[in-house]
């Protein structure tokens, strides 16, 4: 059934079962082949912390971590995420104590966001950087965030927050 019947029923896409592991939780749901992960997270799982700013991978706002790597969730098919570990911004704080990740702390304390739409993507991308490189230079931070657009122009403060968080994670003394 692949034609639209005029004045009748919309053609229905086949739905397949998929198990998504998001922030350590297991979700079983039916998805259509072309549903993107960003939409599934936001609309089916109610995890609206992942934001859609452009829908074509050009802005980084929809970045989530899949098996620890930042990827654009607007270009990722949900059906292909079975068996992977997905981390969204909602899963970053400690699940038991609720304690914020150092990146989240730094962004709160140093005003790392303005409107906040790029924030989830920026923080998760930065987390992946810091997990791999605990002492990045400013240039390395900028390179890592090259794909994260901030229309509020908060790049300077974002860089600062990431460096501050890196220091926190290394156990260093934070500059207030």
Using CB under 8 A as the binding rule, the residues of this chain from 6 to 45 that contact other proteins are: 6-14, 16, 32-34, 36, 42-43
**Residue 2 touches other proteins, criterion: CB under 8 A:** yes
Closest residue by Cα to residue 106 from 157, 69, 155, 67: 157
Q: Is residue 100 a contact partner of residue 93, using CB atoms and an 8 Å limit?
A: yes
User: Cα separation of 136 and 99, whole Å?
Assistant: 24
**Residue 117 touches other proteins, criterion: CB under 8 A:** yes
Q: Give, as ranges, the residues between 66 and 95 that touch other proteins (CB under 8 A).
A: 69-72, 74-77, 79-80, 88-90, 92-93
Among 61, 87, 126, 168, contact with other proteins (rule: CB under 8 A): 61
21, β-bridge pairs: 26, 85
Q: Is residue 62 a contact partner of residue 74, using CB atoms and an 8 Å limit?
A: yes
Pairing of strands 69-72, 63-66: antiparallel
Q: Give, as ranges, the residues between 139 and 158 that touch other proteins (CB under 8 A).
A: 139, 142-158
Among 22, 40, 59, 165, contact with other proteins (rule: CB under 8 A): 59
**Residue 49 touches other proteins, criterion: CB under 8 A:** yes
**Residue 131 touches other proteins, criterion: CB under 8 A:** no
**Residue 96 touches other proteins, criterion: CB under 8 A:** no
Least separation in angstroms between residue 86's CB and other proteins is 13
Among 160, 164, 166, 168, contact with other proteins (rule: CB under 8 A): 160
Least separation in angstroms between residue 62's CB and other proteins is 9
Least separation in angstroms between residue 93's CB and other proteins is 6
Least separation in angstroms between residue 171's CB and other proteins is 21
Q: Is residue 87 a contact partner of residue 71, using CB atoms and an 8 Å limit?
A: no
Contacts of 57 (CB under 8 A, 6+ apart): 72, 74, 75
**Is 60 in a helix, a strand, or coil?**
coil
Q: Phi and psi dihedrals of 52, rounded to 5?
A: -110, 110
């Amino acid at each position: 059934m692949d034609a639209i019947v005029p004045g009748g029923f919309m053609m229905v896409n086949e739905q397949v079962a998929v198990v998504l592991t998001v922030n350590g939780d297991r979700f079983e749901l039916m998805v259509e082949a072309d549903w993107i992960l960003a939409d599934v997270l936001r609309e089916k799982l109610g995890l609206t912390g992942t934001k859609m700013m452009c829908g074509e991978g050009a802005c980084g706002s929809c970045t989530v971590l899949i098996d620890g790597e930042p990827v654009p969730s607007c270009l990722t098919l949900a059906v292909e995420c079975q068996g992977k570990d997905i981390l969204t911004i909602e899963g970053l704080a400690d699940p038991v104590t609720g304690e914020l990740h150092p990146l989240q702390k730094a962004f709160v304390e140093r005003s790392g966001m303005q409107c906040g739409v790029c924030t989830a993507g920026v923080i998760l991308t930065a987390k992946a950087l810091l997990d791999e490189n605990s002492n990045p230079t400013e240039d390395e931070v900028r390179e890592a965030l090259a794909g994260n657009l901030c229309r509020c122009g908060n790049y300077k403060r974002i860089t600062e927050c990431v460096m501050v968080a890196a220091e926190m994670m290394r156990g260093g003394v934070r500059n207030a």
